[in-house]
């Protein structure tokens, strides 16, 4: 067990190094001006450009730039070009909202994906399965921003569901429960829309995994000894096919966080996706490097936790 965790930790450090390289090079290797004001702006004097280059180490060779950026990132000294605030602080203040949104969407994806997938596998090959399969592909094919607008029209016109921000502005609640419920209402809609694709992907994996498990010898044994179909299905097959729940986390998180960029914009939700979009608009390089790095690191952490959790639950994993 300990060996397994240590080995995974070491692998993660290697991955983290690659992640830092990629997030640095995506910014520096793409052509285009590094200045937030455009290369040929006549109002910006050479001196200002020089000071700017020195300040953000843009006058150094690439490998030294990488060193500086990573050092600054880890010491918390990396500052945004736009407002010169430490990038990590900017990310940290967005983190709770982002976690609420993405973990909410993840939980929805996993739970509804499981339900839909199990239902499909239960009726494999028959009409209910065909319908849920097509439905799953409809879910995957739905553009999130389109659903957001359609739902927003409907919900605003017919149901009084709050759709902007993280909480109702200008209202003071008397107790913590009301504050919590208010925030819950606000995160519900974006999280559900974000989760639509995840539910579908997850249901496909669960269904495939269930059908695979149902062909195993021990399922035949269970049936042969006269267990009724429900017991075979839920007690024997289901337990052995929940692997996609774990691998799903690794597959879904990057898609969720990426998709959140659009959804957060529509719902004026102050998460990291919106921060990223603002940084993109302002060509705020330090923030972009840090955001790409931090989100990828978060995904990595999620994977690591899931793996370890899975190894704790399922003894077969450690043998691999």
Partner 1 sequence: MITTTPEPLEVAASPMERSLRRFRANKIGLCALGMVGLLAVIAVAFFVLDVLGIPWPMDPDATNLERKLLPPDSVNWLGTDNLGRDVFSRLLNGAYISLTVGFVAVFVSLFIGVTVGAVAGYFGKWVDNLIMRFVDAIMCFPTFFLILTAVALVGPSIFNIIIVIGLVSWTGTARLVRAEFLTLRESAYVQAARTLGQRGPKIIFRHMLPNAAAPILVTAVLGVPEAILAEAGLSFLGFGVQPPQATWGNIIADGKTYILDAWWLILFPGLAILIAALSFYLTGDALRQAVETRSERQ
Residues forming contacts to partner 1 in the complex (CB under 8 A) are 11, 14-15, 18-19, 21-23, 26-27, 30-32, 130, 133-134, 137-138, 140-146, 149-150, 152-153, 215, 250, 253-262, 265, 273, 276-277, 280-281, 283, 288, 291-292, 295-297, 299-300, 303
CB within 8 Å of 62: residues ≥ 6 apart: 28
As a whole number of angstroms, the distance between CA 212 and CA 89 comes to: 47
Shortest Å distance, C-beta 121 to partner 1 = 13
Shortest Å distance, C-beta 176 to partner 1 = 32
For the residues of 149-212, what is the DSSP string, one character each?
A: HHHHHHHHHHS----SSSS-TT---SSHHHHHHHHHHHHHHHHHHHHHHHHHHHHHHHHHHHHH
Shortest Å distance, C-beta 74 to partner 1 = 18
Judged by CB, which is closer to partner 1: 144, or 162? 144
> Rounded to a whole number, what is the largest CA-CA distance in the chain?
85
For residue 79, what is the DSSP state?
A: B
Judged by CB, which is closer to partner 1: 183, or 190? 190
Helix (H) or strand (E) holding 10, with range, is helix 2-28
What SS3 class is residue 86?
strand
Judged by CB, which is closer to partner 1: 189, or 257? 257
Shortest Å distance, C-beta 206 to partner 1 = 16
CB within 8 Å of 292: residues ≥ 6 apart: 22, 23, 26, 27
Shortest Å distance, C-beta 77 to partner 1 = 22
Copy the structure tokens of residue 43: 């109002």
Judged by CB, which is closer to partner 1: 162, or 183? 162
Shortest Å distance, C-beta 54 to partner 1 = 22
Judged by CB, which is closer to partner 1: 17, or 184? 17
CB within 8 Å of 70: residues ≥ 6 apart: 20, 24
As a whole number of angstroms, the distance between CA 194 and CA 206 comes to: 19
Shortest Å distance, C-beta 86 to partner 1 = 20
Judged by CB, which is closer to partner 1: 67, or 254? 254
Asked if residue 90 lies in contact with residue 275, where contact means CB atoms within 8 angstroms, the answer is yes
Judged by CB, which is closer to partner 1: 184, or 218? 218
Asked if residue 2 lies in contact with residue 301, where contact means CB atoms within 8 angstroms, the answer is no
What SS3 class is residue 143?
coil
Shortest Å distance, C-beta 79 to partner 1 = 19
Judged by CB, which is closer to partner 1: 191, or 253? 253
Copy the structure tokens of residue 232: 């075979």
């Amino acid at each position: 067990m300990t060996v397994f965790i240590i080995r995974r930790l070491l692998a993660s450090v290697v991955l983290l190094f690659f992640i830092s390289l990629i997030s640095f090079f995506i910014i520096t290797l793409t052509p285009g001006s590094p200045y937030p004001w455009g290369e040929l702006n006549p109002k910006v004097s050479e001196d200002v450009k020089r000071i700017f280059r020195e300040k953000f180490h843009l006058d150094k060779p690439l490998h030294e730039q990488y060193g500086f950026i990573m050092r600054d990132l880890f010491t918390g000294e990396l500052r945004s070009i736009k407002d010169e605030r430490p990038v990590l602080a900017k990310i940290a203040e967005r983190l709770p909202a982002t976690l609420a949104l993405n973990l909410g969407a993840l939980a929805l994806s996993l739970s509804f994906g499981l339900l839909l997938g199990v239902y499909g596998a239960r009726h494999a090959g028959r009409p209910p399965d065909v319908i849920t399969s097509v439905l799953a592909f409809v879910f995957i094919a739905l553009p999130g921003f389109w659903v957001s607008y359609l739902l927003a029209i409907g919900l605003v016109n017919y149901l009084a569901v709050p759709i902007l921000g993280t909480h109702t502005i200008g209202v003071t609640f008397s107790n913590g429960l009301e504050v919590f419920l208010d925030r819950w209402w606000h995160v519900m809609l974006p999280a559900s829309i974000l989760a639509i694709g995840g539910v579908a992907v997850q249901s496909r994996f669960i269904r495939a995994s269930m059908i695979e498990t149902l062909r195993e010898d021990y399922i035949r044994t269970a049936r042969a000894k006269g267990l009724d179909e429900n017991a075979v299905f839920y007690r024997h097959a289901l337990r052995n096919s929940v692997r996609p729940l774990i691998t799903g986390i690794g597959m879904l998180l990057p898609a969720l966080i990426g998709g959140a960029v659009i959804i957060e914009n529509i719902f004026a939700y102050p998460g990291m996706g919106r921060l990223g979009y603002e940084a993109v608009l302002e060509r705020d390089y330090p923030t972009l490097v840090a955001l790409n790095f931090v989100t990828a690191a978060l995904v990595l952490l999620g994977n690591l936790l899931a793996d370890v959790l899975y190894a704790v639950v399922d003894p077969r994993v450690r043998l691999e």
